[in-house]
Each structure stands twice: as C-alpha cells, then as structure tokens.
Structure 1
C-alpha cells in the first residue's frame, strides 16, 4: 500500500497542485459547492505561502549537498567525524551551529553525508537537532518570546537532549543502513566519487556542471514531495477552527498532544514557528508551547514525506515515535522544573 501511494499518489497530487497554482494565478475558484469562497481563499494563501517559505531552504539544502558531493571526498568525512559514539552524537547535535539549515533542506544534506561515510546515527542526530540548535532559530525564538526568554533556552536544551538520546539509541540498536537501496547507493557513490575527481581534473566548468546536475536531480526529487505535503497541510490547516484549540487548551495531557499534532500539520519553518507559538501563549501553558516548538521542526508532515524517500519506512516510523515520546516527556519535565 505504501509503495502504491509513493509511486502513484505524488503524481496525482502534483496534478492537483498544478491546478491550484493555476487557480491562484488566474484568481479563479474551484467549481465545487463544498468549498466556500473564504475557505478556498485561505487554502490558496496557505498552500502558496508554505511552498514559498520552504523553497529557498530546499534550494540551499540541495546546493550544499551538491557542493559536498563535488568538493568533499569520503576520506574527508571519515577523517573529521568522531569515532567515539558519544563524541559523534554531540558533534551531530552541535553541527547546526556551523551549518544552520532549515528542516526543509536538511534531508538531502544528511543523505549525502551518510552516503559519503558519516555514521548514520550522527546524520540522524544532525537531522533532528540542526533545524533548532542553531543561532538563527535561537534569535527568532528569543525575539518572539521576549517576555519569557526561558522558552528560547528551553527549546535549545530540549532539542539537544532529545536528539542526543535518539542518536545513542540508534547507535546501540540500528544494525543496518537506514537509507533505501543501500547497495545501489554505494555504487552510485563510487561513480559520483570518481566523477568528482574527473571534474576536479578538468577544472571549474566541469565542477560547476556537476554541481548543477546533482542539485537539479535532488531538487526535483524533494520538490514533488514538498508540493504534496504543502497541499495536504493547507487542506488540514483550513479545516481546523480556532474553537478546536480552546477545547484542548485546558486539558493537562491532551494540550501537549494537540500542539504536537498541530505542529506536525502546520509544517512551518523552524525560523518562523516561534511567532506562531507566541500567538497562543495566552491560551496554552509553557509546556505545550515548548512541545510545539521542539517536535514540529524535527518531525512534520512535509518532511515526513521527504524522509520516506530517503530512509526505510521502519526507520521513519521509529524516529517519529521516539521523537514524539521524548519531546512529550521532556516538555512536561521542563514545565515542572521551571514552574
């Protein structure tokens, strides 16, 4: 069933998304009576805003991935990656400080790093912590919660702790490569590796051509799933009414779960989600907002679809479950400690 959805679902939704883009450009509405004008207008705005928000970060991610492919050899990755698992996990959790990529652009970079020799558990730690543990996200969170600066510190600390624990668990129990088609990927590495050396011998033009080739391939591979995720996300956001938030806000456990599910559905970039969270500060307590800010950048709807193109389904499922449980427990403990 999953193979069928991944194979045929994306092209069908891609056609639907193209139709919606055409409607946005021509300012027309769907000839369906079940959608009123206000809801459809909200859907079009949300759909376009998600794509425009994520587009530059995916482009940055695939360009950075292509630069890694052309200029960084497998030996470089293996040389600078710590061999000690604890040091490796800490290295992966803090790598976002040097390379502050959004979650939209993380997946192609992490896939490239793993294929070039970085241990998979370190790549997964970077994938989780990178979108949060970086100076850009810290600054945006601190700005959004000026009256409660503890939120910025707590967000960085909880994201760091969750990613480190998951990294250690994956190091201990993950025995196979988490990537899909591990063997063909290895062959592709060898081919691309030799190709990059040939490019370096031929000069700048060959390197530039190789960068553009790798970038375009990964951009179109990731881009179709971004459109698919944006389409579903816009539908779900349009369907949820504000009264739904009020019904869950005063529930001790469900307020956490609701905000985590809401973060998953919203799929907002980690550099701007703090401003969304701050708008609910008068309705939800500190803990649920913290869970929203940590879980969303790690796991959301659009990057789950992109994760499924890179990692095996079992790995993605385990990653989602572990991240959700650790974020929920960590947010509850943090709220108790601070209050």
Structure 2
C-alpha cells in the first residue's frame, strides 16, 4: 500500500466520521480552540502549498541541473550571486533543491550549489506571497524574510568557497532525489514530483498546524509573556523550534503568524531558519552529500541564518 492510498484512506475516514468528531470536539472548549487554530492554519496555507507543489513539479520536469550549470558564470563571486538569486526564478521545495544542488556539485559549482540550495525554498514568489498574506499590514516581514534568507544563502556560498573541502562530500549521491527516472516522460516526472512533494509537504503542514494548535492551548500565557519580554531568548527558542518542526516553506508563515503573542523579530528568525536548516533537511543532506558535509553545514547554516535573520529583522521590522 502506497502513501497515496493511506492519505486517501485517512481523508475518507475523516469525511465519514466528521459528525461524531465535531460533536466530541464541541464538548471540550480547549479542544475546540485547538481545532479552530488547526483549521485556520491548514486552510490558509493549503492553496500556497498546492501552488508550490505545482511549480516544483514543473521545475523537475522542464529544468535540468545541466541547464543551470551552463548559465553560471566562471567567476566564483558572480556564480554565488546567481545561484542565490535563482531561487526567485526557479522556485521549488527543499527536497527538490537537494538533488539539483548535488548535480551542481558534481559539475564543480559547489559554492553556487549551496547558495541555490538555501535560496530555492526561502525566497521564491510563492513563499513571499504566502508571507504577505499571513502578515497583512506588515510588508516589512516580507522584505526582511527575503533579505535575511538571501543573505544566508550568499554567506554560506561564500564560506564554502573560502573554507569548503571537496573531501567532505561523498563521491556520488545516494538517490534522495525524486525528479528523474530513466525513460520517464516529462509528464511522468511532473506527476511523480508533484505527488511526492504534496504528500511530504502536506504531512509536515499537518504537523505544523497541530503544533500551532498545541502551542495555543497547552503553553501557558505566562510563557509567552516571559519570551516576549526577553527578545534574545525568544529568538533562540523560535530558531530551535523551526529546526525541530521542519515545516514546508510555503506554509510556515501561517504557523509563525499564529504565534501572535510573540514579537515579530523572533517570528522572522523562525521563517529564515526553517527553510535553511531543519531535521528533515539534515537527513536528506547527510544522505545526498555525506555525513561529513552535513555535520559541518547544518550547524554553520543555523548560526548564519539566525544572525542574518536577526539583522534583517532589526532593519525592516525593528525589535518588536
């Protein structure tokens, strides 16, 4: 039985049992509040998730890593910049960016590959529009997310160019990509990539919406008050939370928006750190590039993302 069958089965079960489930939820006020928060986050994020999956599938089917390598200039600095900005022109999911970045590594463009890897899920139009919708009346959040995420991508590319060692990367990826299958047509590649991304990203959206609901009903208000009064602590806590939750970048803005008791700055750091480094990405990177690479790349990316997100937040939204 495939994951698609399981997903369809769960949906059908929920539809059949919706009346008794609704009756049960209404009997418990806190559970009703949690259900409301969950539904709000999930429904708001779903259209952007679907759009992101469609774009990701299109990139998988029509844009190959060899094409990206040919457009990269020979100058290292320029290649890093173009690799970072490519996240705007070639939006896709985190899992799709990893195998593409691996191919760029194989073509000798490691620094550009890392800037591309970090920018794709963070600064693409779908993510930025979702952030604008999640934070209405706060255009500074969109600008700060773009600036902080792009800065993270460029800094990590520059650090690899200066300090990176090819020996840290395994000679050949072990196949965590889902974009290509020998003999597959473009339609088949699109369908497989979109199906894979929808199921994976959808599962993390469910977990993220559930986490947002749990944070509302299980965490006492005094905890939020304490964090709101200690800006540095709240930044660290939300940065770690972003790593643990491993949310899809098309949906994380709605989870961050639900944490309305906290200042904007730590929530901005949450949005910059999440697409750059989390437990899911660490596992994929360890399998694709090697453990020696992942154990160096992930902690460094975490620190760089926190610093870049904080600086961008202070510039665009202030300490609030």
Q: What TM-score, normalized by structure 1, do the two folds share?
A: 0.66
Aligned: 1:267 with 2:258 = no
Alignment of 1:192-271 (within 5 A): 192=182, 210-241=185-216, 243=221, 244-264=223-243, 265=245, 267=247, 269-270=249-250
**Contact 2:83–2:115 (CA<8 Å) still a contact in 1?**
yes
Matches within 5 A, 1:1-339: 20-26=10-16, 27=18, 29=21, 38=32, 41=35, 45=39, 49=43, 53-69=48-64, 74=66, 76-99=67-90, 101-102=91-92, 105-112=93-100, 114-115=102-103, 117=107, 119-134=109-124, 137-138=127-128, 141=131, 149-171=139-161, 172-176=163-167, 178=169, 181-182=172-173, 192=182, 210-241=185-216, 243=221, 244-264=223-243, 265=245, 267=247, 269-270=249-250, 273-274=252-253, 277=256, 283-300=261-278, 310-334=288-312
325 and 280 in structure 1: CA distance in 2 versus 1, 3 angstrom threshold:
same
Q: Residues of 2 paired with 1:285 and 1:231: CA distance?
A: 24
**Is the Cα contact below 8 Å between 1:92 and 1:123 reproduced in 2?**
yes
CA deviations 1:70-96 (Å, max 9, x no partner) are: xx7x3x443322222221111111112
8 Å contact from structure 1 (residues 14, 227) kept in 2: no
Question: How does the TM-score come out when normalised to structure 2?
Answer: 0.69
Instruction: Give, in whole Å, the separation in 1 of the partners of 2:173 and 2:307.
Output: 34
248-257 vs 238-247, which moves further: 238-247
Gaps of 5+ in 2: none
When the two structures are aligned, how many residues end up with a matched partner?
A: 300
Q: 1:150 to 1:225 in 2, by over 3 A?
A: closer
Does the Cα contact within 8 Å between 1:97 and 1:134 map onto a contact in 2? yes
Displacement of 1:129 in angstroms is 1.8
